[in-house]
Amino acid sequence: MKLSFLMWLASLLPQSAADPLCLATTVYLEARDQSELGQRAVAEVALRRREDGRWGESVCEVVTAPKQFAPTLVNPNFRMGNLEAWQQAMDVAFKTQQNWEQPIADRHEVVPGASHFAALRYASPSWRHYPTVATIGSHTFYRVDRLSP
């Protein structure tokens, strides 16, 4: 499957079906080589941003906001060819979204308060000096309160 096909498909679906697809696509692109915990953390950042509202009102809007997540940074012709990693990303997306639908006090958060993450081996974002929430695999997660998209 090509990235462009998945994003096109998401644009046709009702939001309740599109959001898990967009979240799974993001988990796959950002963290398919990470542990399940690392994948959940990536999904959590996208869901937290949706809840915040500054990056969009749906998961699809959040992950396709310019230069925020891999769906806007990766070549649209990229082939999502690892079926096992895709299935894992789908499972993580659905489980994380179900967890996120719980009342805040009942959620099991992996990276509480994290609104950003980076693989510092590849990127050096200006906000990397904000408080670190956790490092899981190759991603470091940050609580960045003052930035807008």
For 21-122, strand residue ranges (E) read 116-118
Residue 37 confidence (pLDDT) above 70: yes
* Torsion sign, CA atoms 14, 109, 29, 73: positive
Which is nearest to 31 in space by CA: 145, 122, 136, 143? Answer: 136
The predicted-structure confidence for 4-35, as pLDDT tens digits, reads as follows: 999 999 999 999 999 999 999 999 999 999 99
With a threshold of 0.85, does the pTM exceed it?
yes
